[in-house]
Amino acid sequence: MHTVVVGTSGVTASDVLAVARADARIEISQEAVAALAAAREIVDALAAKPDPVYGVSTGFGALATRHISEELRIQLQRNIVRSHAAGMGPRVEREVVRALMFLRLKTVCSGHTGVRPEVAQTMADILNAGITPVVHEYGSLGCSGDLAPLSHCALTLMGEGEAEGPDGVVRPAAELLAEHGIAPVELREKEGLALLNGTDGMLGMLIMALADLEQLYKSADVTAALSLEALLGTDKVLAPELHAIRPHPGQGASAANMLAVLRDSGMTGHHQDDAPRVQDAYSVRCAPQVAGAGRDTLAHARMVAERELASAVDNPVVLPDGRVESNGNFHGAPVAYVLDFLAIAAADLASIAERRTDRLLDKNRSHGLPPFLADDAGLDSGLMIAQYTQAALVSEMKRLAVPASADSIPSSAMQEDHVSMGWSAARKLRTAVDNLTRVLAIELYAAARAVELREGLTPAPATGAAIAALRGAGAQGPGPDRFLAPDLAAADAFVREGGLVAAVEAVTGALR
């Protein structure tokens, strides 16, 4: 099994994906153990002094003015975890919780949090055992970190609450820890606060969304090329010299991908035949510009994620010179903004894909294709309602594109009077990514049928391979009306699992 080593300088996006989605094993480096011990010495020294230090010997948030006596500090750390584990709603997905815990461990191992080495090791042991705390949908405002979600994880560390075992069954956390020989942790000064105070949930979801969207943007270039081909459009608009004079990197990459997919097509360039067109519609002609803008948005979001992966987000933090200082680095604005930006870009990509699908189905705009791509229009409805489903998905994505980060609601008796709502931005982006996959699957299904209905014309080798692979995946070709949902589900799985990109790249080589 792949092993991820956590040191003091952060982790990579591939590390997060390996732990969250592939159950990679975690080891803590000796460098990190030493940094943990050194920072803990500083916290212990401060705890022994009579002067109050936030998070060490005081209450939290709006209650930070109360000095907590030494004999009550273990109870203080236990109390913050119990009281903050106040989430509600459906359970959050296993991969999200694993990313959340791993990213908190990453910050703990930076040596800036003052957590003891044994606490970090217990976090790693829980992940390695396949134990996943039960975390709920609601409870984070994305400021002071993802408080409720992280608290539910810290509760498991203490041997309290519920968690899912490696068998997928939810049971008391104490039972699961005991079965795997893991001793619950008794938290000491600052440790409860350090386990709760980070942007780890929203960052984990950002990293997974970036991985999914990278594949979906390649898929979108393929479906756009298939639609262009099915509509007998021209590939001249994809020429590199046209995109060089508007040098957005994403636009150039999308145009290059579409051109590669359409290479040697016998179907492009027929727009001057029986129904002359001077130009193709925007949804066809401007596909690289729209998808390219989304690709550039991905690049910006990836830069933000990489910076956050290299960060130590906590409050207060232990600095190399021995100071323990309060700060506002837990505010989720940098991550929240790009999560919202990605949802906007995904909605627009879905919107242009739906417009191409609608054009394929409209006999007045499809340049010779049968109405709704039906076998016997009137007796058969063809793909009419598939487009309705696609339109419903796009409409929801437009609603999901409303920025969560533009909202703020005060909390903690106005101490936390401005929050990022980054967790909410991440949760709606996950839905948007799922919907985008379905939208592209429907465009693929419609465009493939349309290409097959163009008798006497030969598609490009790459698009032909995509259609053959789609049929092999269980999505059937043209014919009389049948129960359509299973075909659409097969197309969805084909796109979601990477089959579309793989089928095309087997012909074209790696897409950009």
Provide the annotated active-site residues.
Answer: 54
Cβ neighbours of residue 173 under 8 Å, at least 6 residues apart? Answer: 131, 133, 155, 156, 159, 160, 161, 162, 163
Helix (H, G, I), strand (E, B) or coil at 88: strand
Amino acid identity of 167? D
Report d(CA 503, CA 473) in Å as an integer. Answer: 11
Under DSSP, the state recorded for 371 is G
Per-residue CA distances from 108 to 7, 112, 128, 130, 273 (Å): 10, 7, 17, 20, 66
Contact indicator for 443, 223 with CB cutoff of 8 Å: yes
Report how far residue 116's alpha carbon sits from residue 188's, in angstroms, rounded to the nearest whole number. 9
Contact 442, 389 (CB under 8 A): yes
Which residue matches tokens 């792949």?
2
Please enumerate in sequence order all residues whose Cβ is within 8 A of that of 298, keeping only pairs 6 or more positions apart, or say none.
Answer: 210, 213, 214, 217, 250, 342, 345
Compute the distance between CA of residue 147 and CA of residue 162 in angstroms, rounded to an integer. Answer: 17
Determine how many CB atoms are found less than 10 A away from the CB of residue 100: 27
Q: Which two tokens stand for residue 111?
A: 């040596």
Question: Could you tell me which residues come within 8 angstroms of residue 474 by beta carbon, excluding any fewer than 6 positions away?
Answer: 486, 487, 490
Is 425 in contact with 403 (CB distance < 8 Å)? yes
